[in-house]
Amino acid sequence: MPTITCIEDLRLLAKKRVPRMFYDYVDSGSWTESTYRANSNDFQSVKLRQRVAVNMEGRSTAVVMVGQHAAMPVAIAPTGLAGMQHADGEILAAKAAEKFGIPFTLSTMSICSIEDIAAHTKAPFWYQLYMMRDREAMVRMIERARAARCSALVLTLDLQVIGQRHKDIKNGLSAPPRPTVANILNLMGKPRWCLGMLGTRRHSFGNLVGHVKGVSDIKSLSAWTNEQFDPSLSWADVEWVKQRWGGKLILKGIMDVEDAKLAANSGADALVVSNHGGRQLDGAESSLHALPRIVEAVGSCIEVHMDSGIRSGQDVLKAWALGARGAWIGRSFLYGLGAMGEVGVTKALQIIHKELDVSMAFTGNTQMRNVGRDILVPGTFRTA
């Protein structure tokens, strides 16, 4: 086992152990992938001010996110097909998040179901929902989330249509993998992954198969999902979801100030500045660049979080300094999951926490609440 010191080490190990189509599903963006690359690259241009002769004892990264205490301002983002990175992947990630003390968010397009997560964890978790044409199916999902003790609903707004993801098209992405010659040859080199999948019954979309009308297997599921993402999504639909849920509501996929104002006026509890990890509109700016002006516009009236491009604890610190009160990680935990299962997710969280804690200390702070833009070198970050 190689020594793991950073998220990049986990990525390299996951690349060796996860089948190509599922690794590429995580480690790619849409079209030219320019936005995907910008999400992480733009963090590197923001520089930190190092302070000395400051008491660094008694540090804490603990915060409150959407009314929930967290060990650090990090949440596990909803990611489809996590259970194809490693057998029972969503369950393992949820358990790691619970033990570490941060929120876990389950995707509608997960392999493990809402009920699976509830059965294997004690802490409340968040559930992500897409706006679908089948409103009855959505109501049932909301009811299932409530029964599973979910403490917040995350409504994703930026997937009315799906971005063109070239690697997924070329790989013929499916869950489970189709038994083509190319897939079989690739799987032969992934024995750990195959053994894990042989030991679980969870191989398809657990939140949908058997829970929505007309979906009983992977073939009928594919036809259903192609028809279900609702391109007519409007703010009236957001209100519809809010009324039926009645609990904490987080709106994910905000990249524009005008949309942020509408999100704040909707009565939602938080919004997530997100370009879907660069997997939707290629050519959009990075989430980090969009963050400051959205915080300036609505940060006083709605809790602002962000995702896309976070690969280290320093990235979390920079996002917090620019006003994000939560940093959501997708690829960073998925690399750990693909590399080593629950142990890998825990390792990813430990790495991020250590980097956050030490970097906060070097900037002269011992509590997250005291961290502001003054820790950043002027001129290295955008404010408008």
Which residues have a catalytic role annotated? 276
Pick from 203, 227, 201: nearest CA to 214: 227
Q: What is the rounded distance in angstroms from the CA atom of residue 57 to the CA atom of residue 359?
A: 14
Distances (CA, A) of 70 to 65, 99, 325: 7, 11, 11
Distances (CA, A) of 118 to 109, 127, 147, 345: 16, 11, 9, 19
Q: Are 349 and 96 a contacting pair, CB within 8 Å? A: yes
Q: Which residue is it, tokens 């959501």?
A: 328
Strand duo 63-65 + 68-70: pairing: antiparallel
Q: What is the rounded distance in angstroms from the CA atom of residue 317 to the CA atom of residue 372?
A: 9
Q: What is the rounded distance in angstroms from the CA atom of residue 198 to the CA atom of residue 335?
A: 21
Pick from 132, 129, 165: nearest CA to 281: 165
Q: Which residues pair with 60 in a beta bridge?
A: 367
Tell me how far the alpha carbon of residue 280 is from its chain's centroid. 14
Burial 93-109 (b: 16+ CB within 10 A, else e): bbbbbbebbbbbbbbbb
